Amino acid sequence: MSNKDRITVTISPYLKNKLAKYAGKNKLFSSASDAANVALTELFVKIEQEEKKEKESEK
């Protein structure tokens, strides 16, 4: 078993339809879990970059 935690999320029908379009066999993402991992990783990288910029501008 991989070293991952399981979470449950609620998403809008719009996001569910987008997920169905891009996640699954022979699609951009192998699964909904894969898509969520990529999306959250990109979100947190963006947030951390913004926080770093804010800290640097306070100096």
Query: Could you give the number of structural domains in the chain?
Result: 1
Residue 2 domain-assigned?
A: no
Residue 5 domain-assigned?
A: no
- Is the Cβ–Cβ distance between 19 and 35 less than 8 Å? yes
Residue 7 domain-assigned?
A: no
Residue 32 domain-assigned?
A: yes
Residue 27 domain-assigned?
A: yes
Residue 30 domain-assigned?
A: yes
Residue 40 lies in domain: 13-58
| Sequence-distant (≥ 6) Cβ neighbours of residue 21 within 8 angstroms | 27
pLDDT (tens digit, 9 = 90+) per residue, 13-37?
999 999 999 999 999 999 999 999 9
pLDDT (tens digit, 9 = 90+) per residue, 33-54?
999 999 999 999 999 999 999 9
Residue 20 domain-assigned?
A: yes
Residue 42 domain-assigned?
A: yes
